[in-house]
């Protein structure tokens, strides 16, 4: 491995700061609350049916129609930018950063000339060579530890786990080394490493290949976590994670790799700590991430037809939470529904519920509702697998009950 480290030229790490300084105070009177609502405008038309319990004398925003996707090829082609699948967007972001910074390298099982299990690194070994795109043995604890050690020397490694479930074998390295070395060294070491790979419930991949492990890693001090859901944010978050001086875990969903969208031709980098407003609304805040974003948007179309106006936020940053964006929404809608694929016990939704209750309890008019996967190993049978994951019909029912 000395050859690997010597073969790459070290430069000064580039640091991107994404911190927010403003949070909403959690203790306000009811009268103060009404005067401090942060309104988000939209150009869509107003639906005439209103949610039961919405305050009188408060202005409603004319955005009760769900945003329509461009379905025709002509409308898609008229957009600026270029069209990519999600795994191609990840690859493009990775390749741009490897071109920009010679200290960026990739390591993992079959990431070299095979191009990775989901082809995120396809062609990179040919372009950058075997020292910067390193095939490793099937030993997650070994090559993850090697990547952390490489990060302390000035490199910026991207460690690919063929499946997030396999990274449990490297949990010791990620927890005791990756998350703590900056602190335990008194700031002498930076750990600019990205750990990424597919996870989530696929289609009949079996229990061991269908795990949702976000909450496992969320509990580790010193780790940042983001989850991509579109080609646009996949590329932007990949680039931001590589440039960060903090260790970042990038969660990718196995069923979203073939999702297609247009992304800008010009370079862009997203914040690692910001949520995305997917759909502005008035009646209820729906917080979600990764694959569940699409289940929520499917449910939103039904809800709009029923007269409800949901606000949908893709939280993206799983650690830390973007309490600025979330707080603005809670102060406006006063109702919260969390939709996740993670397990109910100790999941991301549980942490998010605690954070909202602690910071914005005075703004809530109803208890927070959390829809999560069931606390069972994911069945192999397709019908049983579907029952373990939150479906759009459940989201519709939950919103109707919240707004009664």
Residues with a known catalytic role: 140, 209
Q: How far is CA 358 from the centre of its chain?
A: 22
Nearest to 352 by CA among 320, 395, 312, 375: 320
What lies within 8 Å, CB to CB, of 56 at 6+ separation is: none
Angle at 263 (CA atoms; ends 226, 272), nearest 5 degrees: 20
Sign of CA dihedral 23, 27, 31, 34: positive
Strand partners, 82: 263
What lies within 8 Å, CB to CB, of 225 at 6+ separation is: 214, 217, 218, 248, 249, 250, 251, 317, 318, 319
**What does the CA dihedral 238, 243, 246, 252 come to, rounded to 10 degrees?**
0
176-211: burial string, b at 16+ Cβ within 10 Å, e else: ebbbbbbeeeeeeebbbbbbbbbbbbbeebeeebbb
Cis ω before 320 (30° cut-off from 0): yes
DSSP for 34-46, written as a single string: HHT------SSPP
Tokens 């703004």 — which residue?
363
């Amino acid at each position: 491995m000395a050859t690997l480290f010597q073969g790459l030229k070290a430069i000064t790490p580039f640091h991107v700061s994404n911190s927010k300084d403003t949070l909403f105070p959690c203790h306000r009177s009811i009268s103060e609350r009404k005067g401090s609502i942060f309104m988000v405008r939209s150009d869509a038309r107003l639906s005439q049916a209103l949610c039961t319990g919405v305050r009188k004398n408060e202005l409603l925003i004319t955005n009760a129609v769900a945003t329509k996707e461009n379905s025709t090829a002509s409308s898609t082609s008229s957009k600026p930018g270029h069209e990519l699948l999600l795994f191609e967007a990840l690859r493009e972001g990775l390749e741009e950063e490897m071109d920009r910074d010679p200290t960026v390298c990739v390591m993992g099982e079959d990431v070299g000339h095979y191009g990775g299990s989901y082809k995120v690194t396809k062609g990179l070994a040919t372009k950058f060579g075997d020292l910067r795109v390193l095939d490793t043995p099937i030993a997650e604890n070994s090559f993850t530890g090697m990547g952390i050690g490489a990060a302390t020397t000035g490199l910026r490694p991207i460690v690919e786990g063929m499946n997030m479930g396999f990274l449990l074998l490297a949990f010791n390295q990620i927890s005791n080394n990756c998350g703590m070395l900056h602190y335990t060294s008194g700031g002498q070491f930076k750990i600019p490493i990205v750990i990424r790979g597919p996870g989530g419930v696929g289609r009949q991949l079996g229990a061991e290949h269908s795990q949702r492990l976000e909450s496992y890693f969320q509990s580790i001090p010193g780790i940042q976590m983001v989850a991509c859901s579109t080609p646009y944010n996949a590329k932007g978050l990949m680039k931001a994670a590589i440039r960060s001086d903090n260790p970042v875990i990038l969660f990718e969903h196995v069923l979203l790799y073939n999702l297609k969208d247009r992304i800008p031709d010009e370079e862009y980098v997203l914040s690692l700590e910001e949520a995305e407003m997917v759909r502005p609304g008035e009646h209820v805040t729906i917080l979600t991430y990764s694959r569940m974003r699409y289940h929520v948007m499917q449910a939103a179309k039904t809800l709009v037809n029923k007269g409800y106006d949901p606000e949908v936020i893709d939280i993206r940053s799983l650690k830390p939470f973007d309490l600025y964006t979330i707080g603005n929404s809670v102060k406006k809608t006063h109702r919260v529904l969390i939709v996740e694929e993670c397990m109910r016990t100790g999941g991301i939704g549980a942490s998010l519920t605690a954070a909202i209750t602690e910071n914005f309890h005075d703004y809530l008019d109803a208890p927070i509702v959390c829809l999560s996967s069931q606390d069972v190993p994911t069945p192999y049978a397709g019908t049983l697998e579907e029952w373990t994951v939150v479906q759009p019909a459940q989201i519709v029912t939950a919103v109707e009950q919240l707004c009664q």
